Structure 1
């Protein structure tokens, strides 16, 4: 139907009305509103070309169309609905096809598995039938042989095999006829004439389980194929007697004084939960990470059926006991050569010339601050390992460590300087280590060189060179020109050949830490000289109070290597802390062993330090406190780049001081200066001395805020001199007296307002008002003080010369008599310095 305007509507029962709509500024407008009920439009196709069909096609009757929708829009919507239905039908068909394909694939796999099982079953049956036939044929052959033997001895036994023998005369039943072989075979195979198998065949196959039977259960949860296979495997093991429970193994468990529950379970090869449960039954509520005492652990061990073996804590180091090397395992190794000598005698320059590298330029001030380890290959192919030790006196302990790991000592002596104090120390170290020595007389190219004086001076220290008919090789060299370097290398190779140095590279590695440092990017790094065995990447080791796992190895040229053999110096990464220079590195089997050994060593060292620092009696405590009260202390904090340098600085600091003042190192360590160091320095009022290290940004800001002084050094001379000067400032100044004159009292006058005044004659020198005076009576000092007044006639004067008379009055003292002598002197304060 149509409305009054001629617009087409769908006859939905519309209601119309007017609504007044308000706008801003008071404007209004009447709006015509129509309210329609929603209705689902289901188009009905009319007869094609009918009068009341409206537009042809899928649009339908115009009277069923919603108001305001054109024929084109209606047609578009109907097409969209049809397209959606078509897509849904296609998707449904695709899902059904995919489901059918999956079902077919499952059916195909099921059939393949059934066919495979059927083939295996038939093969097993064929093998079984073949074995039974062979056994039956063997039995028949034996029976036939027995019958032939019986036929020879008895005529009745000679009857035909297929005929029954006649019944005996006594009426006993005759034996049944012997069944023929072919019939038996057909019966066993099931090839009877009616084509049916044996009745027992189904019973024999009843134990077999096919996939169809496994999947054909009615209702409930079905057992999986894997479960059925496990059941068959258990049945097979049971038939073969394999499921017999193994007998419990009794172990000898090493039991220290205390042990962690998890470690106890590991040593017993039991579950940690079972051990915890056992302890809870005893009334101990513990976890697997708690520690129990040895008595409790022994009860647990006995409960689990093992044997406990008590060991002491020191027994943990038994795993690193030295193993005796077999003679056939020993091979030649390069010699370890240590360069020793006085400071600035050219040790590093000599090694620099040998290595054809520039090492000395990397050291501050051209002075070696650390122990360096390098490998050099000579022109003849011989490999030599060199240790370059610092020559300064403060590094005595570092040189001592170098001598302990070395095979040959090259003593470098400057031809223009001869034997010096550190040269003597190097000789003593080499003799104490019982190491052969080669003397290298360096700087032979200088005009003032006198090598003969060097040889003569060495005689005073019992070093007799070959040129003086001795047994110590001496070579004249020049690190600048390269003169004599080949002869020096030949002498080292000859000495190494005499020593016949050998090691076993197949055993666990054993080495010594030459140097250790805390690297910012790599963590704790130790320079290790491998002395025996081979150190490989991934090895677990313990070194001193630290342990670790080799994460990387780096040789002296900075290259990454996978292993290092005897006499090879390498940098080891992977430590959990910085070891001490001189510690021994040992490779162990497990991390638990390494951790246990490191913990024991750390505990032992802590106890040792506590015992050394504790006074044994009250008297000793009081005496120590009294001595400390009279000694001025200079507290300092030391941070260095490597462990050896830190130790050397601490040893140098301990030598500074006397009975009045001393240097106290509050803390020393390796690495950058941190906020913790600044906090300790602030609390103690101590400066921080950094040797080749710097403070981080946070520590610098904290030091500026708290007023903590941080001083940086790169040469140890400067550090020692500055600390010595600072310690000298704590010394009390020395007071020196200079006598300037004598005066003799002639008369004593009493003056009102002043007191007693002595009339004196200056007999020697001069009398000054500002000077100190002593009153002598019969050459005994009875008073020392200062003058209150010094007058010449009635005038106050500053000084009176010899031969003149004057008046003197003492401050707060009036017991003066004629004949007393006045001694006049001046005091001078002189600053003291530490030697």
Structure 2
């Protein structure tokens, strides 16, 4: 086939076909339009034999009728794709048909279930209806029996009169008995009893017994579809009353006497519910007592007791504090007790080497992380000795500001290790530590530290301890003493042996199987982990997931972290752990107790919080009006330095507040507006701006929004990491509020020789300076017979006719007082200067 033939064939087969179409318009106008139509090419493969140009493949079409440009391979691929599509379509149709069958089966099953439920409901309704009919029939029969009895009593005189025909018989209507005669006309079908019942049940009136629609239980029992319907319980009570009435009167039911628990105050409705009495009856009884209350008002326990006794019940008084009874306080059995590690508290004066000694025992560098080389928090650590004995150590700060923290450490400890530096001997905080240990009633071991220094004198330490009734073994006492050196490691093994010996003597035991309880050593608000409490478990085993209450807070143990920073699943007795999962930051020293449910924990925490609020309110209200006025008058002369304190842990915040309370005197004092735990927030800055106070951060920083707010509002934020610097700076700031001391320096005397009257000036004294010097700027006093009669300032000081600043001794001058003219010859003028001296707080 030539190229021309190919073009001609393509043009004929694929080209458009043209034609003319006549269009008609309004008013008889027409127009012929030439249009072209294109024919859609349809490729239909036709099977052919071997003779077709498909290489013997029966699925290939005639090459002469195949579209141009399509090879045999392409044609075969298209046929395979078409066959695959048809197969997929067939599979999809089969799948849809299968799903439709399954859905039909499911619908049929649901229909059957619905029909079964409907049949069951109908049976229940039918049974209820039959029961109601039987009860109604019994009631009607009882009424008929009563009527027959009444008729027999009335018919007795009639029978007597019938025996005497002369006596007239009174005409009486015969009682119409139900079912005696059928109704006439348009009466409803059925006997009279059924009709009467139908009339009572049908509240709409005028309709028959037959109902439209499905009969429900309520309709069967109450009869009537409109209006208020009676409950099943109400119907049962009514039937019971009717049955008792038919049997000859109601039977008296026995009064149920209940034990009614009454707290300090109770709502009237709640009281009625606990007595199982009607609220209206309780309110009526209260009104008879002269109390006009509603069901939502509260009454006290005494009034509730009167009401309970009136209704015949017994009162059981309970207190709000009874919510804490759920805390397990059972006594441990001897067979349940197991040995526990001792808890050792390191105490002593600041910088005597307590943390360094513990560092040497733990073989870890703890002191390097403390700001200024002093301990700011209570640290809790566990140490395993070479002999395998486990010891729990509490490291308390030695600074005077941390007295309360040291006291807390002594309350939870078994043994106190008193660290005294051999080159410094007994110091003030050493004496405090001795007092805390004695108050806690725990044995003491004296560790004489820094024995490696040349100036060390251990014997002086032992001698000084005698003044405080601490007699060591070398002085014929019962207190163990060990000479140690944290720097060289001298005496550490002896110290551990002494601790182990003391713990064996104590025979420390605890029950690890009971509900856990422990003491909060420290608490803080961690930015990433929320409130975190360092807890020393004292009894039981604290496990992950336990619900607990601690002070005014509660929570669920989300995680436990030991002293090495590792997460653990549980912590037994004498094990210090960090507890995560609290809803708030507790106070250091609070007791942690595990309870059964969250509701109990929440209830106990809310009660404790309310009790604390009431206690604070009572403390504030326990003053008379005269006392308040006297306090306000006294406060007028006292200058205050307000500050806001934010610390990293609760113990540090308490220690700072206590240190601030000691700063000041009768004229000035430091007032802590707010002390909290955690980062400095925008709320703190707002409070500081309103009160004009600085914000002090101890080992915390302000967040970005707080910093921006402080810059905009001009609030000063000061950061500290050592408590010495914080106390010194606050003391210096408070000293600035002290009024300066005024000191007078006498500089001269002058005597009035003559008094002159000058127009426009007044009386002018002609004076002779007898001693010192007279200055214009100085203060003066007028003395007459050595009695001060005026104190003021000079209006003028002249030498001859010139105004001068000062006049020397032996010279004459003229003086005039400001607003004072009562001057006489012979008066003496005392001249003095005032000097302001800045004061500082001690």
Give the TM-score of the pair, scaled to structure 1.
Answer: 0.69
- Cα 1:827–1:223 change in 2 (3 A) is closer
User: Residue 176 of structure 2 aligns with which residue?
Assistant: none
Structure 1 residues 799 and 79, CA gap change in structure 2 (3 angstroms): closer
Shift of 1:748: 2.3
Report what 2:34 is aligned to: 33
| TM-score, normalising length: structure 2 | 0.68
- Report the 3-state secondary structure (helix = DSSP H, G, I; strand = E; otherwise coil) of the residue aligned with 1:317: helix
* Matching residue of 2:364: 357
The answer as to 2:502 corresponding to 1:502 is no
Question: In the alignment, which of 89, 97, 112 is matched to residue 222 of structure 1?
Answer: 112
Deviations 1:60-87 (A, max 9, x none): 9xxxxxxxxx954499999999999966
* Among candidates 534, 537, 544, match of residue 541 of structure 2: 534
Q: Secondary structure at the match of 2:351?
A: coil
Structure 2 residue matching 1:521: 3-state secondary structure: coil
- What runs of 5+ residues in structure 2 fail to find an aligned partner? 1-7, 24-31, 50-57, 121-256, 284-295, 306-312
The alpha-carbon distance between structure 1 residues 756 and 513, as it changes in their structure 2 partners (threshold 3 A), is same
Change (3 A) 1:251 1:578: farther
Show the counterpart of 2:467: 460
What is aligned with 1:443?
Answer: 450
Asked whether the equivalents of residues 261 and 317 of structure 2 are also in contact (C-alpha less than 8 Å), the reply is yes
Give distance in 1, aligned partners of 2:418 and 2:716: 41
Structure 2 contact 378–521 (Cα < 8 Å) conserved: yes
Q: Which residue of 2 aligns with 1:698?
A: 705
Q: CA deviation at 1:756?
A: 2.1
State the shift of 1:788 in Å. Answer: 2.2
Asked if residue 595 in structure 1 is aligned to residue 602 in structure 2, the reply is yes
Q: How many residues align?
A: 645
Task: Give the match for residue 127 of structure 1.
Answer: none
Task: Report 1:482-631 matches (<5 A).
Answer: 482-614=489-621, 616-631=623-638
**What is the rounded CA distance, in whole Å, between the counterparts of 2:821 and 2:801 in structure 1?**
20
Shift of 1:524: 0.7
SS in 1 for 2:482: strand
Q: Relative to structure 2, which stretch is displaced further, 251-260 or 310-319?
A: 251-260
The reply on whether 1:15 has 2:22 as its aligned counterpart is no
In structure 2, C-alpha distance between the alignment counterparts of 1:649 and 1:325, rounded to whole Å: 40
Aligned with residue 676 of structure 1, among 667, 680, 683: 683
Instruction: Give deviations 1:491-536, integer Å, cap 9, x for gaps.
Output: 2222212211111111111110000111111111110011111111
CA distance in 2, matches of 1:469, 1:818: 86
| 1:687-727 CA-partner distances (Å, limit 9, x unpaired) | 11111011111111111111111111111111111111111
Q: Could you tell me how far apart the structure 2 residues matched to 1:668 and 1:522 are?
A: 21
CA–CA distance in 1 between the matches of 2:695 and 2:421?
A: 37
**For 1:634-686, what per-residue CA distance to the aligned partner results, in whole angstroms no more than 9, with x for missing partners?**
11111111111111111111111222222111111111111111111111111
Q: Matches of 2:653 and 2:761 in 1, distance apart?
A: 66
From 737, 750, 753, the counterpart of 1:743: 750
Distance 1:670 1:100, change over 3 A: closer
Aligned partner of 1:654 in structure 2 is 661
Does the 8 Å contact 2:43/2:67 carry over to 1?
no
- Note the 1:464-483 alignment, pairs <5 A: 464-483=471-490
Query: Any idea what the Cα deviations from partners look like across 1:118-169, whole Å, max 9, x if unmatched?
Result: xxxxxxxxxxxxxxxxxxxxxxxxxxxxxxxxxxxxxxxxxxxxxxxxxxxx
Distance 2:683 2:109 in 1: 73
Secondary structure at the aligned position of 1:222 is classed as: helix
Q: CA deviation at 1:221?
A: 3.6
Tell whether the 8 Å contact from 1:398 to 1:644 is kept in structure 2 after alignment. yes
Q: Confirm or deny that 1:325 pairs with 2:329.
A: no
Is the partner of 2:666 in helix, strand or coil?
A: coil
Q: Is the 8 A contact 1:775 1:784 kept in 2?
A: yes
Matched, 1:714 2:709: no
RMSD: 4.6
The match for 1:128 is none
Describe the shift of the 1:804–1:13 C-alpha distance in structure 2 as closer, same or farther (beyond 3 A).
closer
User: Structure 1 residues 794-803 or 780-789, which shifts more?
Assistant: 794-803
Match of 1:238 in 2: none
5+ long unaligned stretches in structure 1: 20-30, 49-56, 61-69, 107-214, 231-249, 269-274, 284-290, 299-305
- Structure 1 residues 799 and 567, CA gap change in structure 2 (3 angstroms): same
Structural mapping, 1:721-800, within 5 Å: 721-800=728-807
Q: Deviations over 1:728-749 (max 9, x none)?
A: 1111111111122222223323
Change (3 A) 1:530 1:747: same
SS at match of 1:677: helix
- Alpha-carbon contact 1:551-1:573 (below 8 Å) kept: yes
For residues 407 and 489 of structure 2, what CA distance do their matches in structure 1 show? 29
Instruction: Give the alignment of 1:408-427 within 5 angstroms.
Output: 408-427=415-434
Q: Distance in 2 between matches of 1:536 and 1:437?
A: 32
Separation in structure 2 between the aligned mates of residue 410 and residue 59 of structure 1, nearest angstrom:
103
Tell me the equivalent position of 2:834.
827
**Which whole-Å CA distance do the structure 1 matches of 2:407 and 2:542 have between them?**
24
- The alpha carbon displacement at 1:603 in A equals 1.0
Deviation per CA, 1:572-629: give whole Å up to 9, x if none: 1111111110000001111111111111111111111122223543223322332333
CA shift at 1:795, angstroms?
4.0
The 1:32/1:550 distance shift into structure 2, 3 A limit, reads same
